[in-house]
Structure 1
Amino acid sequence: MASLSPRAPMRGAAIPILVAAIGIATFSCMDAVMKGLSIAIGAYNAMLWRSIAGAAMSGMLMLVMRVPWPSRSGLLLHVKRSGSAGISVLLFFWGLVHVPMAEGVALTFLSPVIALILAAPMLGERIGRSAIVASVLAVAGVIVIVLGKAHEGAGPEAIHGALAIVLASFFYAYNIVLLRKSALVAGPIEITFFMNLVFACLYLPAAPVAAVVPPLHQAPVFIGAAALAIVSSLLLAWAYRRAEAQLLVSVEYTAFVWAAILGAIVFGEKVLPVTIAGALLIVAGCFIAARGHATPGPSTEAAS
């Protein structure tokens, strides 16, 4: 996301930091709701119906706020960015069915480091020494988490779930790079609407063979998940427009804490010491990358 220029003082960033923290907590609650839905009806159906609800709700915001329709180039950018994010979140929630929430969120922290590597061919940026060190630490963190899962005696589904989330991080990293461009030409309501719209269009072709109409009593759950995603997206967009990314990036990592708490309360999950160790390695890599080169926060916004 776009950061402020000139540099905002830490004292003036207190409110944006608080707003960002609330946005991360809100998004973590949405993750918990979506994991429950994915377990009940599958990740595809959970994302299909949440995207339809999200497109309808954010579309109403577009109309009420009279947000103009984007240009052809802006529309193409929305499609490219949201398409990669749509694949990412589907992989993420499929993987999250098979792994604890804290472990899944820790693996998504790979995205900022991958984004630095993608920025070289896509934006013509040079890969510095800090990006290389960050990549090594991030990969080491992933290896620790996956090996810890294997050592725990987890079945192949758990390993496949972790690998699906790693793959999701690559798709979301591509989205992160494009998000830098989107933030300069579109507001948060427009970005949120087109993300949900593209998600729905991406998933609908498979509906004749894969879609299942959920029970009517689950409708409020889908609406609630969509509302949580929209609120979180708007809160984070507001915060990132008023404070530099380097001041807010540490707040993004509170998602791991929320994931551990919600995973324990809602799903009875335990956080393994190796998961914490792997997460610390990945986060350390992200901070090294941030010191050497400006980078967006991790992919806690993947499912917005």
Structure 2
Amino acid sequence: MIENKPLAALFMLTAAAFVAGSTLFAKALGVAGMHPFQVSSGRFIFALLGLAVASLILRPRIIRPNLPLHTLRVVLGWLGVTCMFAAVAVMPVGEATAISFLNPIIAMILAIPLLGERVGPWRWAAAVIAFAGALILIQPGADAFQPAALIALLGAVFMGAEVITIKRLTRAEKPLQILIVNNVIGVVIACSVASFVWVWPTPLLWGLMAGTGLLMVCAQACFLNAMGRADASFVGPVFYATLVFAALYDFVIYGVVPVPTAIAGALLILAGAALMVWRESRKA
């Protein structure tokens, strides 16, 4: 892919909107009593079905996929998403999301030794500003420090490491190929584990599982396009915008009116992303 940092930022913002939506679906499934392993399996099943439809139209060619790296990426992603689904089922969505959103900072740090990327002061400043906004927006209090919070933190580590594998894959393979191979492997792994806890869902739960999977695969497509057009350390902090979308969905769906501190946090998140885009555009 040709480097295009503004377009990469736009793709990442779109991915953030889809991820926030899928988290709300996963929350509903968890509240209904569905096991996190089963939620993850539904996410892979319906994501693969969506990709199958796209493949019938686009007819992609699968050319020499790096299966070991794909498998590593799937395992990391599956563990990260499962931890997130498990945490969000028993603690507030905002607090779980805030903890899991340490993953862009983890990815940015890992990108230095593993990808050879240079992270200058402007990127560090943008990441810190965005993270500070996340803390202000969510205001994680004492309730965040519970076993579920540790699960969310572990998920952040897995997802941060997954970002590195995604970046390496985008250097050699096309986004649609990565999505297809990853979700095929993901279905095998997730369904194998979920078979031990499987309970047949109601039609409503099937619909929520479908929504989770389809929204997540749309997020993946946007995420891969973003990663293929800019450094991981550049586009990673933009993903904090998911918190803004989550707050917006809370307002539209549940009528939750953001308090002034939440608005300030959202503005800081957007300011951090805007600072990075502006700085990189000036450098270009």
In which range does the TM-score fall when normalised by the shorter chain?
A: 0.7 to 0.9
The structural deviation recorded for 1:200 is 2.2
Equivalence map 1:1-12=2 (5 Å): 4-5=2-3
Are residues 99 and 139 of structure 1, via their aligned partners in 2, closer, same or farther at CA, if it must alter by over 3 Å? same
Q: Identify the residue that residue 253 of structure 1 maps to in structure 2.
A: 240
1:187 correspondence with 2:179: no
Return the alpha-carbon distance in structure 2 between the equivalents of residues 168 and 193 of structure 1: 23
Q: Identify the residue that residue 39 of structure 2 maps to in structure 1.
A: 46
Are residues 284 and 159 of structure 1, via their aligned partners in 2, closer, same or farther at CA, if it must alter by over 3 Å? farther
Q: Tell me, which stretches of 5 or more residues in structure 1 are unaligned?
A: 294-304
Are residues 148 and 227 of structure 1, via their aligned partners in 2, closer, same or farther at CA, if it must alter by over 3 Å? closer
1:35 correspondence with 2:23: no
1:58 correspondence with 2:51: yes
Return the alpha-carbon distance in structure 2 between the equivalents of residues 20 and 143 of structure 1: 20
The structural deviation recorded for 1:165 is 1.5
Identity fraction in percent: 25
The structural deviation recorded for 1:252 is 2.8
SS at match of 1:53: helix
Return the alpha-carbon distance in structure 2 between the equivalents of residues 170 and 245 of structure 1: 15
Return the alpha-carbon distance in structure 1 between the equivalents of residues 234 and 165 of structure 2: 21
Contact 2:240 2:269 (C-alpha < 8 Å) held by counterparts: no
Are residues 272 and 45 of structure 1, via their aligned partners in 2, closer, same or farther at CA, if it must alter by over 3 Å? farther
1:204 correspondence with 2:191: yes
Q: Identify the residue that residue 167 of structure 1 maps to in structure 2.
A: 154
SS at match of 1:209: coil
Deviations 1:253-274 (A, max 9, x none): 3211111233455567787888
Contact 2:129 2:269 (C-alpha < 8 Å) held by counterparts: yes
Are residues 103 and 277 of structure 1, via their aligned partners in 2, closer, same or farther at CA, if it must alter by over 3 Å? farther
Aligned match for 1:149, one of 136, 141, 144: 141
Q: Identify the residue that residue 77 of structure 2 maps to in structure 1.
A: 85
Return the alpha-carbon distance in structure 2 between the equivalents of residues 17 and 292 of structure 1: 13
Letter in 2 for 1:29: G
Contact 1:104 1:162 (C-alpha < 8 Å) held by counterparts: yes
Q: Identify the residue that residue 114 of structure 1 maps to in structure 2.
A: 106
Q: Identify the residue that residue 219 of structure 1 maps to in structure 2.
A: 206
The structural deviation recorded for 1:287 is 9.2
Letter in 1 for 2:61: P
More deviation, 273-282/17-26? 273-282
Are residues 142 and 65 of structure 1, via their aligned partners in 2, closer, same or farther at CA, if it must alter by over 3 Å? closer
Return the alpha-carbon distance in structure 2 between the equivalents of residues 267 and 145 of structure 1: 17
The structural deviation recorded for 1:174 is 0.9
Return the alpha-carbon distance in structure 1 between the equivalents of residues 131 and 15 of structure 2: 28
Equivalence map 1:270-289=2 (5 Å): none
1:24 correspondence with 2:16: yes
Are residues 144 and 258 of structure 1, via their aligned partners in 2, closer, same or farther at CA, if it must alter by over 3 Å? closer
Q: Tell me, which stretches of 5 or more residues in structure 2 are unaligned?
A: none
Return the alpha-carbon distance in structure 2 between the equivalents of residues 147 and 191 of structure 1: 36
Q: Identify the residue that residue 299 of structure 1 maps to in structure 2.
A: none
Return the alpha-carbon distance in structure 2 between the equivalents of residues 37 and 137 of structure 1: 33
The structural deviation recorded for 1:84 is 0.5
Are residues 199 and 245 of structure 1, via their aligned partners in 2, closer, same or farther at CA, if it must alter by over 3 Å? closer
Return the alpha-carbon distance in structure 1 between the equivalents of residues 183 and 73 of structure 2: 12
Are residues 45 and 91 of structure 1, via their aligned partners in 2, closer, same or farther at CA, if it must alter by over 3 Å? same
TM-score for the superposition, normalised by structure 1 = 0.70
How many residue pairs get aligned? The number is 279
Contact 1:20 1:251 (C-alpha < 8 Å) held by counterparts: yes
Are residues 91 and 264 of structure 1, via their aligned partners in 2, closer, same or farther at CA, if it must alter by over 3 Å? farther
Are residues 209 and 236 of structure 1, via their aligned partners in 2, closer, same or farther at CA, if it must alter by over 3 Å? closer
Return the alpha-carbon distance in structure 2 between the equivalents of residues 53 and 225 of structure 1: 8
SS at match of 2:208: helix
Aligned match for 2:249, one of 242, 262, 286: 262
